[in-house]
Amino acid sequence: MLAAFLISGLSAFAEDFLNNPAYIAQTGYDATKESAENAALVAISKFFQMSIEVKAEERTTVTNVGANSTMTEEVFVNSQTELFAVHYTKPRFDKKQKQYEVTAYIDREEAWRIYEPKIEDSVQSFEQFYSNAISQSDNLSKIIGLSRASKEAKQSELIKKLDFAMILNPDRAEKYGGTRNKISDIEAAIRKIAKSSSVSVKLSSDYEDRVSKSVKEIFSKIGIKTLNENAEYLCSVEISENTQTLPAGIFFTPSFAIQIEKAGEVIYSVSRQLKKIGAKNEAVAKQRAFSAVAEEIQKSLQSELAF
């Protein structure tokens, strides 16, 4: 059986690791030396899993600033291959229990020397994105920069890496506390900047306000006000329908170009060409085309203005 953690009768050698904060140690028991060793390794894996889950919950409680929290992910150390620098005590057979006892232990300092280089690149990359963002004087440029920094942290799974680091060696990982705080504060920072910003949306064409609603929804999600006039920013959306009448029906090959400017200076721009979309009925074809344009525009803007 895969047995539990600490029970009476442990060897003095095992106790040296279990009671020493310089080590992460767990003991496993089973009928053979190999299975007892595996049980000890599983116990260490569970220790990381439980510790990280608690930290994730604590982080969610602290950073939840609205109906939804951006930090609700759980981290699982469920693969033995994710663990490293694991050593084992010599198996000891407990005659009374009729099973072997093995303690698996990790020297925190040794493990940190191996692990720190693995997270340093991710930390430096995020810090560069973050530094570039906060150096911007324009509000929208700063929001886009912070959004990119947030995306970089998510893609590199930086929070997961920092969580693991805090379990592995809390003293050493403390140096990255500032980075962790920056990641956690990005959403609040974006909302604060957005609150003082406004935009007006102008379209060359639309169908049933599909594109207009889609664009305004993105700005609204982060807190930028949309105004009909006298806004800080102007978001212009140029849509080309590229219509063809064929024997099979009416077809659109739509494209769009978005430009967001402030006082004549272009802050952000993007353009896309969509695939051919059509139907026998022109109204249906047009509805499908503009729905596709609205969806693609939303994806494009969301990639730059999401938390």
CA 146 from centre of chain: 13
Positive or negative, the Cα torsion across 195, 196, 202, 203? Answer: negative
pLDDT value of position 77 = 43
Q: Using a cut of 0.85, tell me whether the model's pTM lies above it.
A: no
User: Is 211 in contact with 290 (CB distance < 8 Å)?
Assistant: yes
Exposure pattern of 109-145 as b/e (b: 16+ CB <10 Å)? eebbeebbeebeebbebbbebbeebeebebbbbbbbb
pLDDT in tens, the chain (307 residues): 223 333 334 555 677 788 899 999 999 999 999 999 999 999 998 888 877 665 555 555 444 444 333 333 333 344 333 688 899 999 999 888 899 999 999 999 999 999 999 899 999 999 999 999 999 999 999 999 999 999 999 999 999 999 999 999 999 999 999 999 999 999 999 999 999 999 999 999 999 999 999 999 999 999 999 999 999 999 999 999 999 999 999 999 999 999 999 999 999 999 999 999 999 999 999 999 999 999 999 999 999 987 7
Residue among 217, 223, 218, 224 nearest 198 (CA): 224
Specify the pairing of strand 198-203 against strand 225-226.
parallel
Q: For the chain, which domains are there?
A: 12-108 (3.10.28.20), 110-194 (1.20.58), 197-305 (3.30.160.150)
